[in-house]
Amino acid sequence: MSAPESTLLQSWHDNAQAWIEAIRSGAIESRRQVTDQAILLAIMGRQPERVLDLGCGEGWLLRALAERGIEAVGVDGDATLIDAARTAGTSQVHVASYAALAEAQVDIGRDYALICANFSLLHQDIIPLMAAMNALLAPGGALVIQTLHPWAVAAGDYQDGWREETFAGIAGQWQPMPWYFRTLSSWLNALDMAGFRLTSLQEPQHPQSAVPQSLLMIAERR
């Protein structure tokens, strides 16, 4: 793991409690208004029997899928978040870093109809992880990624590179989180290099917002 990548994962250890409170109190408006619904619709649209939520955090999406009759398994690198997911009712959850998953060091099941990553691909070296996820999909399976829309967050600097999130505006004690900004073509190249074919690209947007709230990509195994 590179230095910024281990700082990134460490920031989730530091921020786990604040994140649980933020998600469970609905503190992030764009999630409440747009992006939670967008990822649920994208997943439900494929009617998958079994889903892996990569970087599941405290597990809100696992619970939302289970309520809709979909078997959902979660994996995340932070043990506090996984404990919170388990306590909230999801039994199939695993603690594993992306580095361990990329090297297939942890058994998290296989033959998934769909793997989703909701705002959880924040590091630079995503291709080995995505290729490892490709190998866990059943034939015809899909990867659904929702992420920050690069044009909405570029802030005049449209090139791949590390940035910093301070969580300003969300109540709680936060440590800054390094995250890797990726242009649209960089996302599409990464999918291609990991053996995926893009089948849908969406830009979920609130009608009263001038910019999209996220970029949502659906890709199938090639």
Binding site for ligand SAM (CB under 6 A): 8-9, 12, 23, 55-57, 60-61, 76-78, 81, 97-98, 118-120, 122-123
Half-sphere exposure of 137 (CA within 13 A, CB side): 26
For residue 198, the minimal CB distance to ligand SAM (Å) is 21
Please check whether residue 191 is in contact with residue 219, taking contact to mean a CB–CB distance below 8 angstroms.
Answer: yes
Q: Is the CB of 38 or the CB of 122 nearer to ligand SAM? A: 122
Q: Which CB sits closer to ligand SAM, 8 or 72? A: 8
Separation of alpha carbons 168 and 190, rounded Å:
30
- Cβ closest to ligand SAM, residue 123 vs residue 141: 123
CB closer to ligand SAM out of 119 and 174: 119
Q: Which residues pair with 50 in a beta bridge?
A: 71
CB of 60 to ligand SAM, least distance (A): 6
Q: Of the two residues 92 and 118, which places its CB atom closer to ligand SAM in the complex?
A: 118
CB of 130 to ligand SAM, least distance (A): 13
Length of the chain in residues, anyone?
222
What DSSP letter does each residue of 41-103 carry, written as one string? HHHHTT--SEEEEET-TT-HHHHHHHHTT-EEEEEES-HHHHHHHHHTT---EEE--HHHHHT
Q: Which is nearer to ligand SAM, 93 or 122 (CB)?
A: 122
Q: Identify whether the C-beta of residue 68 lies closer than 8 Å to the C-beta of residue 88.
A: no
Task: From 61, 69, 73, select the one nearest 24 (Cα to Cα).
Answer: 61
Smallest distance, ligand SAM to C-beta of residue 220, A: 21
Residue whose CB is less far from ligand SAM, 76 or 220: 76
Q: Is 198 helix (H, G, I), strand (E, B) or coil?
A: strand
Distance CA 197, CA 194 (A): 9
Contact (CB, 8 A) for 178 and 4: yes
